Structure 1
Amino acid sequence: MTEILTPRLILRRWHDDDLIPLSEINGDPEVMRWIGDGSVRDLEQTAEDIERWEEEWDEEGFGLFAVELLGSGELIGCSGLSVPEYLPQVLPAVEISWRLGRQFWGQGYASEAAHATLEYALQDRGLDRVIAVNRAGNDESENVIRKLGMELESDTTEPVHGFLLHIHSIDLSEYDA
């Protein structure tokens, strides 16, 4: 079972008891405003998300991790890797992403989880390159992307809703663990 320990977090595969806390995170309009079309996700949609992420783990050897606080075991969100099939113009690519409950913002957890995920991608999974897709205006995620050492590669338009997206990337030769 894949598990990553950081100083404050555990990144791990999904458990059945993660559904309700993740559903609460996905039900917060502030959390979801930069994700997809900005719609909140209910319990059933969240269950479908977790099932899809677990399938990606089985098929690709990577996926989105559940992120929990090391001390309390509380689920605070997710961070991981996926193939951005919604954005065919960047394929083939592997995307890093993260999503945390609002009460966990501003404490460095997103950067900590994303850094551990990027290290996993480039060192453990042997990927040569990872991208981050960020919607224009999402300055908080842009800050995390910069902390990862990722550089702006291009801009594109999200094909369904027309949002301006910034594509950042880093490759193994640029990565400084």
Structure 2
Amino acid sequence: MLAVQDDNLKARHVLGWWYWYRYLALPEEEDQEAWDLAAQMLTPCFVADVGSLPEPLVPVLAHYAAEKAEEILADAMAADDEAALEKATSLWQRIVAATPQDNPHLPGMLANSAVASQSRYRWLGDPADLDAAISMLRRAIVLPVSSPAKDMVCRRASQRPAVLTTWRRRSRSCGR
């Protein structure tokens, strides 16, 4: 059987689905291991955007993928690598899209997605990336959750003067 650490995405995808169906078939008191193994197998597939995934499991995969996404974003920014930055930005957008509104980690995920979009803006100069970064930070700040993650968003946003300066300029010009 394939070890959990194996990076063969095709095999992980097939096994992940197998464990998912096993989870569905087992009685509730016996299904936790199958759920865990499905998530372990399919998280790298979520990160790589490979194949379809069990819809009920996608928010869990997004949560598990966040740690790897932080590494990918940090590496892309350090290397100043356009392709890696594109991958990181896309991954963070998928993580945010899959994360429920009531997830206490959503503010931090939005902040990381904003950082990725801002970095891509610096690289490519596309104003849509800057708009996306501003939108994500606005969304993170207005979330009804008061948490250390939200406090981190506010601190991180204050350390990103390019986004905030542009946001302030646009806010003033829009009469906000």
Report the TM-score, using the length of structure 1 for normalisation.
0.29
Larger Cα-atom Rg: 2
Report the TM-score, using the length of structure 2 for normalisation.
0.29
Higher normalized helix content (fraction of residues)? 2
